């Protein structure tokens, strides 16, 4: 699609003609500030809530090995006071006045911050005046200003002049530690940590990312290191305007939103830092062709097969991995799941393409097993590879991919509406990826092309010499001889026995498959034409729906970090 421009103002190139759902009544504008923050503005005239999100291209992969979790700790600390708003809870107090909340998350290669506020029944739409500090003026005066403008000013100063207040550091480190302790009760996180521990030890994915009081306080002190100094050092070295993507959604006109963003966010320092990338392999030959037996804390029976896969960010137009995971994960007649369920071996099956970071992905098949299925896990693995052999033995089927192309379009056009904070957070993250900017809304969701070659290349990663497997069970097989350092999960890992690998290879190559395993049938119920539909209604919060206008409702305030 040819890039459509909304014009240029003050040397700034604007993009406004974004591909969007036909019933989407919002207005959009993309431009870049002089300090290289890329900005997406969204005007929705009838929304009762506003939001902003900023995604910065730095995450836990940038943690120094001697201080795991520091990126997460910095995320916490930015909320605790800035030069303009030095009170540690100034932002939270402001959000409380407008039924708002904030949140943030630290991922491998990015950190995502966002907030949401409610509009009062009457809000100015073009005020450029700075909102007064709630701690220094009464509530009525504060509410004369736009809650979005006031929120943006407080939010923006996270990235201009954070204070890293000394008396808040210990409390935030304990908050990080509390999250880590909560994760220790979650088997999904525990198994994820085991899988991370068993990749290339030179890759940052191998490292502990959440952080704990031990890694962020006790160990640095023992080395004679002051944690606050390290937090400031990390922020100074890694946070830069040219790594940031900003999304703002409000009822104010685009020109007003643009003026506010320029006034505030043009002051974020640009250090011209390069994009973070890690190009070393996630797996070496040592980590592949292994079987890991891990002991959960809950009564869970799971089998997972993981295949190292290529990075597909640049292939978003055709999403070739979608073809693979839809075949592996479908549940209808002919599927692996239907076959295993009929035998009483499987409770559920999911196939997933995991975009871990720029450079390398994973394809995973996860099967929830029955007790009998656990006993038959080797046979199940062979059936999965028989189905992969079936997939690879046929040329990519255009009709099958076109069904999913059509469904991706339907979901994009008529999908459920999201809250403003969901929209801003997801789009700020998407802006870090190489989507053509006119396709920023549709690119993550709509498959445009069937690419026979890319699908065939993708299938080449699904083979018996390019995987590892994990069995999760409290009792089988016993004899766990290792304990994962950070989660305490008991496990044992070993190379898959040669005789079992030979059986897998034979199943993969064999044409003598069970007749119950075959390609899906064509889906006759996919809508091929768009039907009449009512225009989208503006997003209205559940709180507003559940309470009449004259009945006060609870205001929400909170901040949580998820890793």
Q: Tens place of pLDDT for every residue, the chain, 563 residues?
A: 333 445 555 456 899 999 999 999 999 999 999 999 999 999 999 999 999 999 999 999 999 999 999 999 999 999 999 999 999 999 999 999 999 999 999 999 999 999 999 999 754 444 433 344 444 444 334 334 799 999 999 999 999 999 999 999 999 999 999 999 999 999 999 999 999 999 999 999 999 999 999 999 999 999 999 999 999 999 999 999 999 999 999 999 999 999 999 999 999 999 999 987 787 899 999 999 999 999 999 999 999 999 999 999 999 999 999 999 999 999 999 999 999 999 999 999 999 999 887 778 999 999 999 999 999 999 999 999 999 999 999 999 999 999 999 999 999 999 888 999 999 999 999 999 999 999 999 999 999 999 999 999 999 999 999 999 999 999 999 889 999 999 999 999 999 999 999 999 999 999 999 999 999 999 988 887 765 434 444 444 443 333 333 323 322 233 333 33
Given 231, 250, 265, which residue is the final one in a domain?
265
Closest by CA position to 35, among listed 275, 244, 274, 266: 266
Q: Decide if 561 is inside a domain.
A: no
How many domains does the structure of the chain reveal?
2
- Return the SS3 of 109: coil
Cα-based angle 26, 29, 32 (whole degrees, multiple of 5):
155
Same domain, 215 and 296: no
Let me know if residue 117 belongs to a domain: yes
Helix axes 254-265 and 147-156, enclosed angle (nearest 10): 30
As given in the structure block, the two tokens for residue 173 are 């480190």
- Which pairs count as long-range contacts for 126-129, CB under 8 Å and 24+ apart, including other chains? 126/252, 126/253, 126/256, 128/256, 128/259, 128/260, 128/263
Structural domain boundaries, residue 249: 12-265
Question: Angle at the Cα of 232 (from 173 to 64), degrees rounded to 5?
Answer: 75
Distance from C-alpha of 247 to C-alpha of 38, rounded to nearest angstrom: 9
Count CB neighbours of 527 within 10 A.
Answer: 11
Task: State whether 250 and 299 are in the same domain.
Answer: no
Told to judge if 75 belongs to the known catalytic residues of this protein, a careful annotator would answer yes
Backbone angles phi, psi at 266, to 5 degrees: -65, -15
CATH number for the domain harbouring residue 503: 3.30.830.10
Task: State the DSSP H helix or E strand holding residue 503, giving kind and residue range, or none if neither.
Answer: helix 498-509
| Domain end residue (candidates: 265, 299, 330) | 265
Angstrom distances, CA of residue 20 to CA of 27, 413, 442, 540: 10, 8, 6, 20
360 is written with which tokens?
Answer: 């390398």
Angstrom distance (rounded) from CA 238 to CA 501: 45
The one catalytic residue in 38, 44, 75, 172 is 75
Residue 166 and residue 240 in one domain: yes
Looking at the structure, tell me whether residues 261 and 310 fall in a common domain. no
Note whether residue 550 is domain-resident: no
Instruction: Say if residue 306 is in the same domain as residue 209.
Output: no
| Tokens 């292994």 -> residue | 290
Query: What is the value of pTM for the model shown?
Result: 0.88
Place of tokens 């910095």: 74
Find tokens 């089988």 and name the residue: 476
Which domain-ending residue is among 465, 480, 509? 509
């Amino acid at each position: 699609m040819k890039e459509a421009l909304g014009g240029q103002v003050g040397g700034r190139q604007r993009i406004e003609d974004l591909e969007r759902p036909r019933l989407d009544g919002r207005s959009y504008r993309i431009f870049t500030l002089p300090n290289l923050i890329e900005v997406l503005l969204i005007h929705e005239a009838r929304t009762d809530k506003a939001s902003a999100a900023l995604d910065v291209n730095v995450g836990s992969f940038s943690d120094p090995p001697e201080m795991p979790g520091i990126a997460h700790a910095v995320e916490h600390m930015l909320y605790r006071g800035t030069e303009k708003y030095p009170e540690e809870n100034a932002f939270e107090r402001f959000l409380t006045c407008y039924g708002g909340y904030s949140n943030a998350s630290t991922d491998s290669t990015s950190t995502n911050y966002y907030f949401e506020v409610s509009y009062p029944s009457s809000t100015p739409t073009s005020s450029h005046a700075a909102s007064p500090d709630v701690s220094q003026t009464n509530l009525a005066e504060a509410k004369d200003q736009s809650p979005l403008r006031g929120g943006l000013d407080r939010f923006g100063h996270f990235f201009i002049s954070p204070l890293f207040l000394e008396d808040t550091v210990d409390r935030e480190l304990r908050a990080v530690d509390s999250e880590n302790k909560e994760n220790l009760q979650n088997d999904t996180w525990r198994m994820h940590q085991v899988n991370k521990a068993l990749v290339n030890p030179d890759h940052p994915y191998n490292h502990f990312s959440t952080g704990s009081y031990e890694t962020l306080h006790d160990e640095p002190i023992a080395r004679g290191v002051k944690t606050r100094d390290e937090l400031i050092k990390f922020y100074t070295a890694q946070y830069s305007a040219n790594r940031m993507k900003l999304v703002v959604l409000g009822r104010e006109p685009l020109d007003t939103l643009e003026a506010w963003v320029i006034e505030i966010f043009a002051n974020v320092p640009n250090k011209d830092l390069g994009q973070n990338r890690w190009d070393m392999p996630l797996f070496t030959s040592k980590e592949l062709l292994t079987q890991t037996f891990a002991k959960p804390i809950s009564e869970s029976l799971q089998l997972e097969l993981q295949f190292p896969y290529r990075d597909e960010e640049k292939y978003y137009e055709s999403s070739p991995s979608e073809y693979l995971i839809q075949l592996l994960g479908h549940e209808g007649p002919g599927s692996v799941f239907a076959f295993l369920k009929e035998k009483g071996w499987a409770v559920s099956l999911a196939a997933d393409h995991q975009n871990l970071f720029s450079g390398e992905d994973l394809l995973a098949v996860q099967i929830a097993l029955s007790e009998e299925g656990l006993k038959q896990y080797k046979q199940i693995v062979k059936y999965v590879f028989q189905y992969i052999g079936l997939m690879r033995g046929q040329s990519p089927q255009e009709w099958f991919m076109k069904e999913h192309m059509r469904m991706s379009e339907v979901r994009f056009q008529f999908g459920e509406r999201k809250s403003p904070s969901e929209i801003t957070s997801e789009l700020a993250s998407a802006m870090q990826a190489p989507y053509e900017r006119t396709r920023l809304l549709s690119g993550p969701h709509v498959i445009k092309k069937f690419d026979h070659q890319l699908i065939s290349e993708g299938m080449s990663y699904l083979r018996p010499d390019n995987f590892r497997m994990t069995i999760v069970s409290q009792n089988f097989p016993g004899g766990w001889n290792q304990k994962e350092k950070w989660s305490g999960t008991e496990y044992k890992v070993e190379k898959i026995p040669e005789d079992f690998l030979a059986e897998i290879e034979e199943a993969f190559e064999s044409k003598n498959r069970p007749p119950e395993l075959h390609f899906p049938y064509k889906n006759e119920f996919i809508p091929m034409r768009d039907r009449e539909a009512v225009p989208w209604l503006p997003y209205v919060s559940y709180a507003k729906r559940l309470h009449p206008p004259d009945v006060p409702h609870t205001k929400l305030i909170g901040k949580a970090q998820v890793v």
